[in-house]
Structure 1
Amino acid sequence: MTRVVLVTGGGTGIGRAVAARFVAEGARVVITGRRADRLEAAVGELAALGATGEGADEVRDAAGGQAGGRVMSVVCDAADPAQVAALAARVGALDVLVNAAGGLPEPRPAVTGTDRDGTGGAEGERLAGVRYQWESAMAQNVLTAVLTTAAFEHRLRPGASVISIGSIAAERRGGSYGAAKAALAAWNAFQSAALGPRGITCNVVAPGYIEATEFFRDGLTDERRALLIEETHDKRPGTPDDLARTVFFLASAGARHITGQTLHVNGGAHTTR
């Protein structure tokens, strides 16, 4: 039976590479994200990989959005409960859920004089910025996975896989982003215990430095890039395909007894025992 796969944050970077790996397998893949133009472009790119054939109409009818062969897109903010609920109702049953939506905290919108409450002064404004940063990190990197998984919990077929994208930042120097990714791993262990009796596995794949993504928003210096590569044992940056291959394995028959785990894919930059 053809598998149905949902990849949140599937328009770029790691999410797009994961989608491509499942499309190549012949799965029916739904990608989501907040930017319609990026999703539409990704559908075209993935369709060009040869993802055509029977089943495209069935996927389009089930979920709407842009379609191209076996892959299609739905605009959805995975941190918005209403949008996630609508997505689940349209997509239906899943074999694989990949929670790849996430990213660095978004900057706080500029505060005008009319927006100030006048009680906290400059220190109050500073702390409001701290709060905004942490809430943004949690919303993007934890709530996106929690809400999407909760929405599809009863739509996951027996033997399904839930795979979430974590980060090496959960282990060191992570700030609000790292704390959010650490919370994601703790939630994953809980979710694994809850879904395990149905034969559903839940795991986190935690990358180190991965090139060819939008993660650093063009803010990575040559010196910082060199340092991140030097920290690895194999002296190379990771690629989105490195992550995609690991995700694909965790959704395979060979990984049915692997659940509740965080798998580090970082070239040895962070090691475990």
Structure 2
Amino acid sequence: MSENLFDLTGQVAVVTGASRGLGQYFSRALGRAGAKLIVTSRKAGDCDAFVEELAGMGITAHALTLDVRDEKSITAFGPAADAVYGKVDILVNNAGCNIRKPALEVTWEDWNTILDTNLRGAFFVAQTIARGMITRGYGRIINVGSVTSVCGSAGLGPYGASRGGIKQLTMSLADDWGPHGVTVNVLAPGWFKTSQNRVMYEDEGWVQYLVERIPLKRPGAPNDLDGAVVFLASEASRYVTGQTILIDGGISVGNTRALVKKS
């Protein structure tokens, strides 16, 4: 074992949903820490340019296709991932989606799309990867949640249900797989600008309202997540499992300053 508890040299990490956004940030952080990467996207070829970018950074990476809404795709993925480098040590279950609507406008199709992607897909991807981890007696599974894993938000009913479900699922899997040397935790970002929400950040009034609610007075920047994902993937977190780590600038604590000023 390296004296550096955060060193991932010799480790193999799978990052799902890595064709854009947070999946790419997580991948870069793990690669810089020494991990070899398997990055996935729903459509073949969507991660090819990213693999080239990583190679330019000196990071070894391989792209695989994975549709987390398709049973056959997930079932085939576990053996395919193991075959790339001979093992998988780390899974970052990042693939997800959102449809922002008032609750009265949510359709059955909206609900199924979000829950099938964010919750059902995450479970079965973890299951297929965990088989190899359990056989080898070691693994780190990081389920990507959200501040909505612990806080409600208008317009995010199905999304919040999926992220709250991830928190509960993670605790169950941590209990199930802990005896086999596999830790399972949630990394829960707060408000980060991504392809899913970038339109909201074009509204200066909304951004100001958001910043007023965040104790650290700014939205998240991509590198704010680096330390958490490397920590949860490394030996530094070997006695941490079943936990939800919020990287949210403190927004989840609840901002009561406005109330105090009025009192």
TM-score (norm 2): 0.83
Q: Report % sequence identity.
A: 29
Q: Which runs of 4+ in 1 moved over 6 A?
A: none
Out of 79, 84, 101, the position equivalent to 1:89 is 79
CA distance in 2, matches of 1:199, 1:251: 13
Q: Which runs of 5+ in 2 are unaligned?
A: 1-8, 255-263
Counterpart amino acid of 1:152?
I
Alignment partner of 2:210 out of 228, 235, 238: 228
Q: Name the SS of the counterpart of 2:185 in structure 1.
A: strand
Counterpart pick for 1:214 among 185, 192, 195:
195
The yes-or-no answer on 1:159 pairing with 2:149 is: no
Residues 1-273 of structure 1: pairs in structure 2 closer than 5 A = 2-51=10-59, 70-92=60-82, 93-105=87-99, 130-156=107-133, 157-170=136-149, 171-173=151-153, 174-211=156-193, 213-216=194-197, 218-220=199-201, 221-271=203-253
Write the deviation string for residues 159-215 of structure 1: whole angstroms up to 9, x where unpaired: 31100110112312131101110011111010000010012110001111012x212
Change (3 A) 1:258 1:149: same
Letter in 1 for 2:13: V
**1:85: how far off?**
1.6
Show structure 1 runs of 5+ residues with no match: 52-69, 108-125
1:270 aligns to what SS in structure 2?
helix
In structure 2, C-alpha distance between the alignment counterparts of 1:228 and 1:36, rounded to whole Å: 37
Secondary structure of 1:137's match? helix
Q: Is the 8 A contact 1:138 1:177 kept in 2?
A: yes
User: Which amino acid is 2:37 matched to?
Assistant: V
Where 2:137 maps in the other structure, the secondary structure is strand
Q: Contact 2:140–2:182 at 8 Å: present in 1 too?
A: yes
Query: What amino acid is aligned across from residue 188 of structure 2 in structure 1?
Result: A
Contact 1:209 1:229 in 2 (8 A): no
The alpha-carbon deviation at position 30 of structure 1 amounts to 0.2
Q: Aligned-pair distance for 1:228?
A: 1.8
RMSD: 2.0
